[in-house]
Structure 1
Amino acid sequence: MKEFTIRGSSKQPTFSLGENSGIKTTFFLICMIMWLLPFTTAAQNGAPDMTVQEKFDLPDPARCTSNDLDIISADLDLETCDCDEAGPTIEAGLTLGVRNNTESLRTSFAFWAALTVTDPKDVNDPNDDTKTYYLVEGCEAEILPGSMYGPGTNNPDNPPRTKLANFEEYFRIYIWNGSSYQLMIERDENGNPVLDEDQLVIPIEEIPYDCGTSLELTNIYQAWTDASTNESRQCPLDPTKINPKCGIIPVLAVGVGLSASASTTDVSCYGESDGSIEITFSGGEAPYYLDSGDGNGFSSTPIDLTDEQGEPLDPPYKVTISNLSGSASGIEYTWRIKDSSKEPCIQDDTVQILEPDALSLSILGTSISCYGSSDGYLSLNPNADPENSAFTQYDLYKVDGDPDSLAEILDGSGDDDLVTSDITETDGVFAPALGEGKYLILGSKASPYQTGVDCYALSNAVEIQ
């Protein structure tokens, strides 16, 4: 028994071909490059005004009990890697893959469905998706028996069984130019899309697609005959009379070309290595592989497309390259994403990671006026080189023995004690009425590149006598 993976979205199944219990079941894939005909409204974050069943006057799903034919894949007719996030809108036809579960000739194949195009304007906000809805229908004449389709002649171990031998791929054939499919949108006198069948229907030959958007077919009705007076059962089929020779597919993702884009997070503070690149990608064929730009090429392990509970994620997917260093002028990193199409698509880009300047803090001390007094104070060193950085908060520490390092103060492992948090600085002077002792100041300010992160500098220790 041989297994073949049907081309399409990453969620498509793998089908096994063989004989079972003496009944021979042959699968074939028909890839129909279609000119679909939807009747559509453009909407934001809402459902279409009409269902597929209502629009086309289709029977109740419970009355569709036949599974002779199945749509098992749907793809935009795109080149494998024809996708540029910054590029123009692509016009593309839709290709369906149909599986015949019988060896009988089907004189027609019709379908009706809803097509949803989702454009994630902000991939970090699931509520910021712009959705456009289409209601689509189509019909194609004469679908050959499953036994008429077989592997291509390039496989000497499994030659074709019929004269249909010139296939470049397994179980694929493209419908001739006489296809009846069109894409249509009804518009009012102002050019706005409406669900009003009395208005002018304007044919559009291809679906407009922007890289990074996702497409999904839902509530797919499919039929291959009807009970009308159309004796030859040729297109068009009467949607009111297709039962019981019809079936329902709840949802099917539409495969599109691989697209990928990246956002960067610069290093939070000088000397850190917490920069990152988050790559958002979708389309193409899973599994996907990442080259993080570390010189080792593509990882041999595919990118994990599951959540923390092991459940599959929905596109667009994200992968993060972490622990990156930066510089004031930027360090360049080149990342690459590769899919598993027959001719793999690679999307890549070069980005920069920045790092903020180092912070500095130098202080002077003014001793007490008399023995036993507490009128000593600290001030910023006006002659400091490098010049003192501006901080939003200063914390005063009293030194016990050798001064603690910045790391020891931040993690609490040192011996120096916090005297006052957020002391006031006025014209470069700190006046917390200090007595004798050794002191230092911790300055802090918000990172210019990462939210919720503070950067620090520790001053020199000063003796007040």
Structure 2
Amino acid sequence: MEDITIRSQQNKNWLCRVIILIILLGYSSSLSLHSQELPPLPPPGDCVSNDLEVVDAFLDLDDCFQCEEGQVIKVPIILSIFNKTQSFRPTFAFAGQLEVTDAEGNVTTEFVKGCDDQVGLPAGEITELSTILVDYTCGTTLRLTDVYLAWTDASKVTGDDSKNSCANLLSIDNKTPAGFLDISPKCGIEPAIIVRTPLAGSSTFTDVVCNDDNGPSNNGTATAIPSGGEEPYTYLWDDSNAQTTATATGLTAGNYTCTITDKNNCTFDVQVTISDALAFSASATPTDVSCNDDDGNAADGAIAVEVT
């Protein structure tokens, strides 16, 4: 009986593994479908329409959102789009490069595309559209470069088979006779779109150089480097002088905090540790003059100094 129970449990475990594998394979197939490449984008000269304008771009996060540097969160990018025409535009799409810059200035890029055929763009209004979901690393800044904007006429979208649906607009089969993505002339190009990110900050510093007989030195410095948020920024250090510049000077060894505040009164605290100068000692080993002769005093004495 016990053997039958064990075999039954093993069969259940095997069945669970098979089900999980099927789910994962289906999920993988779905990812492959959504990441399918587009046909080549048309030459810039083919995009002559100027119907739409991206007036803002930002991450869909709460005001003054904060997270730890390096933490990764999934968040939509929102594009604010001004429809300058007198006609409703049911579908909007874009494609371009997402440029990510970290606190050290390292830049990475990836191709991204997005489309919306559910909200639509009313005539003469600014509409916010959630376009793509990205993995945002806290403390980085974002911008979209080499951006192609595309839109359709006013025909209604009733399903994926509609002429103006995202499924058709961004299809691998939606090509011109020349082999380009068939979006012209209802398209435009923007060289760069800054994506607003939450206020964050990093720092650089110089440690105390040395101490002397008068006591500890105060020649350490620290600089707060803001990113994201909205300029202008203000600064407040918690040192004895409550300095209000990006760079604090005259610091002794210790821990310091600078509170960065942006235009929207969002704040971010940057922590800095200034280390003390390394202690050292010195010793001297003399070598006496070997001898004197009729010509006077010899000059072969020496002193060897060792610093540790």
Fold conserved (TM > 0.5)? yes
Aligned equivalents of 1:211, 1:374: Cα separation in 2: 71
Q: Which residue of 1 aligns with 2:266?
A: 345
Q: Which residue of 2 aligns with 1:209?
A: 136
Aligned equivalents of 1:100, 1:230: Cα separation in 2: 18
Aligned equivalents of 1:227, 1:348: Cα separation in 2: 49
Q: Which residue of 2 aligns with 1:225?
A: 152
Q: 2:230 aligns with which of 276, 285, 288?
A: 285
1:259 aligns with 2:193: no
User: Any gaps of 5 or more consecutive residues in structure 2?
Assistant: 1-32, 175-180
Q: Which residue of 2 aligns with 1:314?
A: none
Aligned equivalents of 2:71, 2:157: Cα separation in 1: 44
Q: Secondary structure at the match of 1:323?
A: strand
Q: 2:122 aligns with which of 123, 144, 153?
A: 144
Q: Counterpart amino acid of 1:58?
A: L
Distance apart, 1:373 and its partner CA: 2.5
Q: Counterpart amino acid of 1:71?
A: V
User: Any gaps of 5 or more consecutive residues in structure 1?
Assistant: 1-36, 41-49, 150-170, 184-205, 304-318, 379-422, 429-443, 446-465
Query: Structure 1's 338 and 38: CA in aligned 2 closer, same or farther, altered over 3 A?
Result: farther
Question: Which is further off, 224-233 or 350-359?
Answer: 224-233
Q: Secondary structure at the match of 2:91?
A: strand
Q: Which residue of 2 aligns with 1:112?
A: 95
Q: Which residue of 1 aligns with 2:85?
A: 102
Query: Structure 1's 361 and 88: CA in aligned 2 closer, same or farther, altered over 3 A?
Result: closer
Distance apart, 1:339 and its partner CA: 1.6
1:39 aligns with 2:17: no
Query: Structure 1's 272 and 38: CA in aligned 2 closer, same or farther, altered over 3 A?
Result: farther
TM-score by length of 2: 0.66
* CA offset digits 1:74-131 (Å, max 9, x no partner): 21112333333446311211111112223432233222222233445xx1xx5xx362
1:332 aligns with 2:255: yes
Q: Which has the higher helix share?
A: 2
Kept after mapping to 2: 8 A contact 1:228/1:241: no
* CA offset digits 1:51-80 (Å, max 9, x no partner): xxxx34433221111111111222111233
Q: Compute the RMSD of aligned alpha carbons.
A: 3.8
Identity of aligned residues (%): 34
Q: Secondary structure at the match of 2:90?
A: strand
Q: Which residue of 2 aligns with 1:354?
A: 275
Q: Secondary structure at the match of 1:251?
A: strand
Kept after mapping to 1: 8 A contact 2:90/2:156: no
Query: Structure 1's 295 and 108: CA in aligned 2 closer, same or farther, altered over 3 A?
Result: farther
Aligned equivalents of 1:220, 1:88: Cα separation in 2: 27
Number of residue equivalences: 254
* CA offset digits 1:276-331 (Å, max 9, x no partner): 223333111122222233467684xxx7xxxxxxxxxxxxxxx53333222xxxx2
Query: Structure 1's 297 and 144: CA in aligned 2 closer, same or farther, altered over 3 A?
Result: farther
Kept after mapping to 2: 8 A contact 1:108/1:233: no
Query: Structure 1's 268 and 61: CA in aligned 2 closer, same or farther, altered over 3 A?
Result: same
Q: Secondary structure at the match of 2:45?
A: helix
Q: Which residue of 1 aligns with 2:221?
A: 276
Q: Counterpart amino acid of 2:251?
A: L
Query: Structure 1's 106 and 230: CA in aligned 2 closer, same or farther, altered over 3 A?
Result: closer
Q: Counterpart amino acid of 2:223?
A: E
Q: Counterpart amino acid of 1:84?
A: C
Aligned equivalents of 1:102, 1:227: Cα separation in 2: 11
Query: Structure 1's 228 and 114: CA in aligned 2 closer, same or farther, altered over 3 A?
Result: farther
* CA offset digits 1:260-279 (Å, max 9, x no partner): 12343211111443212233
Query: Structure 1's 67 and 350: CA in aligned 2 closer, same or farther, altered over 3 A?
Result: same
Aligned equivalents of 1:69, 1:82: Cα separation in 2: 30
Aligned equivalents of 1:211, 1:339: Cα separation in 2: 17
TM-score by length of 1: 0.46
